[in-house]
Amino acid sequence: MSALDTAAAILILVGVSLNVIATIGIHRFPDVFARMHAAAKPATLGLALALVGTAIVLGEPDDVVKLTLVIGFQFLTAPIAAHMIGRAAYRAGTDLSPETTIDELARALDPTIARSAENE
Amino acid sequence: MIAVTSIALGAVVLASFLALARLFRRGSLADRVVALDTLLTVVVVGIAVYSARIGSGVYLDVLFITSLVAFVGTVTIARYIERRGT
Protein backbone atom coordinates (compact mmCIF):
# COMPACT_ATOMS: atom_id res chain seq x y z
CA MET A 1 0.00 0.00 0.00
CA SER A 2 1.30 3.42 -0.91
CA ALA A 3 1.14 6.40 1.43
CA LEU A 4 -1.93 7.71 -0.40
CA ASP A 5 -3.76 4.42 -0.01
CA THR A 6 -2.94 4.39 3.70
CA ALA A 7 -4.26 7.94 4.09
CA ALA A 8 -7.45 7.00 2.21
CA ALA A 9 -7.94 3.90 4.38
CA ILE A 10 -7.56 5.93 7.58
CA LEU A 11 -9.97 8.62 6.31
CA ILE A 12 -12.59 6.02 5.34
CA LEU A 13 -12.33 4.19 8.65
CA VAL A 14 -12.51 7.40 10.72
CA GLY A 15 -15.47 8.63 8.67
CA VAL A 16 -17.41 5.39 9.05
CA SER A 17 -16.62 5.29 12.79
CA LEU A 18 -18.04 8.81 13.17
CA ASN A 19 -21.25 7.62 11.49
CA VAL A 20 -21.51 4.68 13.89
CA ILE A 21 -20.99 7.09 16.80
CA ALA A 22 -23.73 9.35 15.41
CA THR A 23 -26.21 6.47 15.27
CA ILE A 24 -25.30 5.45 18.82
CA GLY A 25 -25.89 9.08 19.80
CA ILE A 26 -29.44 9.14 18.44
CA HIS A 27 -30.20 6.24 20.78
CA ARG A 28 -28.54 7.55 23.91
CA PHE A 29 -29.27 11.27 24.00
CA PRO A 30 -32.26 12.30 26.12
CA ASP A 31 -34.47 14.46 23.86
CA VAL A 32 -35.11 15.37 20.23
CA PHE A 33 -32.88 18.43 20.31
CA ALA A 34 -29.86 16.55 21.68
CA ARG A 35 -30.45 13.71 19.20
CA MET A 36 -30.58 16.20 16.37
CA HIS A 37 -27.18 17.48 17.45
CA ALA A 38 -25.84 13.92 17.35
CA ALA A 39 -27.35 13.31 13.92
CA ALA A 40 -26.28 16.56 12.26
CA LYS A 41 -22.64 17.14 13.19
CA PRO A 42 -20.75 13.82 13.50
CA ALA A 43 -22.67 12.29 10.61
CA THR A 44 -21.80 15.19 8.30
CA LEU A 45 -18.13 15.20 9.30
CA GLY A 46 -17.97 11.42 8.91
CA LEU A 47 -19.54 11.65 5.46
CA ALA A 48 -17.02 14.32 4.43
CA LEU A 49 -14.04 12.24 5.63
CA ALA A 50 -15.26 9.03 4.00
CA LEU A 51 -15.95 10.81 0.70
CA VAL A 52 -12.49 12.43 0.71
CA GLY A 53 -11.02 8.96 1.29
CA THR A 54 -13.04 7.61 -1.64
CA ALA A 55 -11.88 10.52 -3.82
CA ILE A 56 -8.24 9.66 -3.02
CA VAL A 57 -8.84 6.00 -3.91
CA LEU A 58 -10.62 6.71 -7.20
CA GLY A 59 -8.39 9.60 -8.29
CA GLU A 60 -10.26 10.32 -11.54
CA PRO A 61 -11.01 14.08 -11.92
CA ASP A 62 -14.69 13.39 -12.76
CA ASP A 63 -15.18 11.34 -9.61
CA VAL A 64 -13.34 13.86 -7.42
CA VAL A 65 -15.58 16.68 -8.69
CA LYS A 66 -18.74 14.66 -8.02
CA LEU A 67 -17.62 13.73 -4.50
CA THR A 68 -16.65 17.34 -3.73
CA LEU A 69 -20.10 18.51 -4.87
CA VAL A 70 -21.80 15.95 -2.64
CA ILE A 71 -19.70 17.08 0.35
CA GLY A 72 -20.54 20.72 -0.34
CA PHE A 73 -24.24 19.93 -0.71
CA GLN A 74 -24.26 18.01 2.56
CA PHE A 75 -22.48 20.82 4.40
CA LEU A 76 -25.06 23.28 3.06
CA THR A 77 -28.18 21.23 3.77
CA ALA A 78 -27.43 19.43 7.06
CA PRO A 79 -27.64 22.60 9.22
CA ILE A 80 -30.81 23.75 7.41
CA ALA A 81 -32.50 20.38 7.92
CA ALA A 82 -31.48 20.22 11.59
CA HIS A 83 -32.65 23.78 12.18
CA MET A 84 -36.04 23.11 10.57
CA ILE A 85 -36.60 19.92 12.58
CA GLY A 86 -35.59 21.70 15.78
CA ARG A 87 -37.90 24.64 15.14
CA ALA A 88 -40.82 22.42 14.18
CA ALA A 89 -40.33 20.14 17.20
CA TYR A 90 -40.10 23.09 19.58
CA ARG A 91 -43.15 24.84 18.15
CA ALA A 92 -45.08 21.56 18.26
CA GLY A 93 -44.44 21.47 22.00
CA THR A 94 -42.04 18.53 22.21
CA ASP A 95 -41.00 17.89 25.81
CA LEU A 96 -37.52 18.98 26.78
CA SER A 97 -35.32 16.58 28.68
CA PRO A 98 -35.59 16.91 32.50
CA GLU A 99 -31.85 17.60 32.52
CA THR A 100 -32.39 20.85 30.62
CA THR A 101 -31.39 23.74 32.88
CA ILE A 102 -32.26 26.78 30.79
CA ASP A 103 -34.73 27.44 27.99
CA GLU A 104 -34.08 30.93 26.71
CA LEU A 105 -36.36 30.57 23.70
CA ALA A 106 -39.46 30.12 25.87
CA ARG A 107 -38.77 33.41 27.64
CA ALA A 108 -38.06 35.13 24.34
CA LEU A 109 -41.33 33.90 22.83
CA ASP A 110 -43.55 34.54 25.85
CA PRO A 111 -42.22 36.06 29.09
CA THR A 112 -45.25 35.00 31.14
CA ILE A 113 -45.18 31.28 30.36
CA ALA A 114 -42.25 29.24 31.61
CA ARG A 115 -41.90 25.76 30.17
CA SER A 116 -41.89 22.79 32.52
CA ALA A 117 -38.15 22.19 32.31
CA GLU A 118 -37.44 25.64 33.77
CA ASN A 119 -39.47 25.03 36.90
CA GLU A 120 -37.82 21.79 37.90
CA MET B 1 -8.09 -1.74 0.12
CA ILE B 2 -10.46 -4.75 0.04
CA ALA B 3 -9.82 -5.56 3.71
CA VAL B 4 -10.27 -1.94 4.80
CA THR B 5 -13.51 -1.52 2.87
CA SER B 6 -14.81 -4.82 4.27
CA ILE B 7 -14.39 -3.47 7.81
CA ALA B 8 -15.89 -0.14 6.77
CA LEU B 9 -18.91 -1.79 5.11
CA GLY B 10 -19.46 -3.88 8.24
CA ALA B 11 -19.50 -0.69 10.28
CA VAL B 12 -21.92 0.88 7.77
CA VAL B 13 -24.28 -2.09 8.20
CA LEU B 14 -24.05 -1.73 11.99
CA ALA B 15 -24.81 2.00 11.77
CA SER B 16 -27.77 1.34 9.42
CA PHE B 17 -29.27 -1.16 11.84
CA LEU B 18 -28.84 1.27 14.75
CA ALA B 19 -30.57 4.03 12.76
CA LEU B 20 -33.37 1.64 11.70
CA ALA B 21 -33.84 0.57 15.33
CA ARG B 22 -34.24 4.23 16.27
CA LEU B 23 -36.70 4.65 13.40
CA PHE B 24 -38.93 1.82 14.60
CA ARG B 25 -38.57 2.50 18.34
CA ARG B 26 -41.37 4.31 20.11
CA GLY B 27 -40.79 8.04 19.74
CA SER B 28 -42.15 11.26 18.37
CA LEU B 29 -42.31 11.98 14.66
CA ALA B 30 -39.35 14.36 14.99
CA ASP B 31 -37.27 11.49 16.43
CA ARG B 32 -38.08 9.36 13.44
CA VAL B 33 -37.22 12.11 10.97
CA VAL B 34 -33.84 12.55 12.65
CA ALA B 35 -33.30 8.78 12.42
CA LEU B 36 -34.27 8.74 8.74
CA ASP B 37 -31.92 11.63 7.94
CA THR B 38 -29.06 9.82 9.69
CA LEU B 39 -29.92 6.56 7.91
CA LEU B 40 -29.71 8.24 4.50
CA THR B 41 -26.37 9.84 5.43
CA VAL B 42 -25.10 6.37 6.35
CA VAL B 43 -26.38 5.02 3.03
CA VAL B 44 -24.44 7.74 1.16
CA VAL B 45 -21.28 6.77 3.04
CA GLY B 46 -21.93 3.09 2.27
CA ILE B 47 -22.26 3.73 -1.48
CA ALA B 48 -19.05 5.82 -1.43
CA VAL B 49 -17.14 3.08 0.39
CA TYR B 50 -18.44 0.49 -2.08
CA SER B 51 -17.29 2.67 -4.98
CA ALA B 52 -13.82 2.78 -3.39
CA ARG B 53 -13.94 -1.02 -3.04
CA ILE B 54 -14.74 -1.72 -6.69
CA GLY B 55 -12.53 1.17 -7.87
CA SER B 56 -15.15 2.63 -10.17
CA GLY B 57 -17.19 5.82 -10.10
CA VAL B 58 -20.35 4.53 -11.78
CA TYR B 59 -22.41 4.70 -8.57
CA LEU B 60 -21.40 8.24 -7.61
CA ASP B 61 -24.46 9.82 -9.24
CA VAL B 62 -26.60 7.90 -6.77
CA LEU B 63 -25.00 9.94 -3.97
CA PHE B 64 -26.56 13.14 -5.35
CA ILE B 65 -30.02 11.65 -5.53
CA THR B 66 -29.80 10.11 -2.07
CA SER B 67 -28.62 13.27 -0.33
CA LEU B 68 -31.18 15.36 -2.25
CA VAL B 69 -34.03 13.04 -1.23
CA ALA B 70 -32.80 13.11 2.37
CA PHE B 71 -32.84 16.91 2.46
CA VAL B 72 -36.19 17.38 0.72
CA GLY B 73 -37.83 14.66 2.81
CA THR B 74 -36.55 16.10 6.08
CA VAL B 75 -37.69 19.62 5.21
CA THR B 76 -41.10 18.39 4.07
CA ILE B 77 -41.79 16.43 7.25
CA ALA B 78 -40.48 19.33 9.36
CA ARG B 79 -43.07 21.62 7.75
CA TYR B 80 -45.71 18.94 8.33
CA ILE B 81 -44.79 18.65 12.04
CA GLU B 82 -44.92 22.42 12.40
CA ARG B 83 -48.44 22.57 11.03
CA ARG B 84 -49.81 19.45 12.74
CA GLY B 85 -48.09 19.50 16.14
CA THR B 86 -45.96 16.86 17.95
pTM, full prediction: 0.88
If one counts every other C-beta atom within 10 angstroms of the C-beta of residue B54, the result is: 12
B 20-59 residues with CB < 8 A to A: 21-22, 28, 30-31, 33-35, 37-38, 41-42, 44-45, 48-49, 51-52, 55-57
pLDDT (tens digit per residue) in B42-56: 999 999 999 999 999
State the amino acid at position B20 in one-letter form: L
d(CA B33, CA B12): 19
Looking at residue A55, the DSSP 8-state letter turns out to be H
DSSP string, A83-107: HHHHHHHHHTTPPPPTT----HHHH
What pLDDT is attached to residue A13?
Answer: 95
pLDDT (tens digit per residue) in A46-55: 999 999 999 9
Cβ partners under 8 Å of residue B57, min gap 6: A58, A60, A62, A63, A66, B51
Residue B8 contacts residue A13 (beta carbons within 8 Å): yes
Q: Which of B15, B49, B64 sits opposite A70 (nearest CB)?
A: B64
Cα distances (angstroms) measured from residue A57 to each of B1, B11, B51? 9, 19, 9
Q: Is the pLDDT of residue B5 over 80?
A: yes
The residue extents of the domains of chain A are 3-95
Cβ partners under 8 Å of residue B62, min gap 6: B47
**Domain A3-95 coded CATH 1.10.287:** yes
* Residues, chain A: 120
Q: Which of B8, B38, B67 sits opposite A16 (nearest CB)?
A: B8
What pLDDT is attached to residue B82?
Answer: 85
pLDDT (tens digit per residue) in A5-53: 999 999 999 999 999 999 999 999 988 889 998 888 999 999 999 999 9
Least confident of A63-67, A69-73, B81-85: B81-85
Cα distances (angstroms) measured from residue B67 to each of A72, A73, A76, B35, B51? 11, 8, 11, 14, 16
What pLDDT is attached to residue A109?
Answer: 76
At residue B65 the predicted structure's pLDDT band, cuts being 50, 70 and 90, is very high
Interface ipTM: 0.90
Chain B CB contacts of A90 below 8 Å: none
State mean pLDDT over A104-118.
Answer: 66
What pLDDT is attached to residue A120?
Answer: 44
Domains of chain B: 2-84 (1.10.287)
